[in-house]
Amino acid sequence: RASTLADSFAALRGAGSGLKMPLRVQFFNEQGLEEAGIGEGVMKEYLVELIRAACAPSARLFAATSDGELYPSPAARHAVVDSAALFEFAGAMFAKALYEGILLDVPLAPFFLAIVLGTTNTVNDLPALDPELHRNLLFLKGYT
């Protein structure tokens, strides 16, 4: 399970629309033996674990606001090999969880969700990303 993200990325990266099909998930322990699981619980556990791994600080794909809300890390393209493909894969796995009706407890930043939903962010969304920049911009606006 320590390599859930890397193993899943290698196995599913080209699946595309095939992700709408049911996936067969197997977990193996450190000794290489299959772990027992019951029905759809394994799929749910897999997707939750996979998304948790993608959002973990060690994956370096997502950054956190001061409130702990996640957004794609601007540094990921330099810090993570094949980051664009990994982001695409993570997005597909988020979509798979939604498609399967699995709720994910991931605190995504509102300004990031606005982009995903195709809406426009405004200066009023800036405090979530950078409160100091927002405060300074308002100061400059009032200064003129």
> Residue 110: which of 49, 69, 62 has the closest Cα?
69
Q: Which residues partner with 70 through β-bridges?
A: 64, 108
2-46: pLDDT as tens digits: 688 998 898 888 777 777 777 777 776 677 766 665 556 778 888
Q: What is the pLDDT of residue 136?
A: 94
79-106: pLDDT as tens digits: 999 999 999 999 999 999 998 899 999 9
Residue with tokens 């394994």: 42
pTM: 0.81
112-124: pLDDT as tens digits: 999 999 999 999 9
Note the CATH number of domain 4-108: 3.90.1750.10
Domain spans of the chain, in order of start: 4-108, 110-144
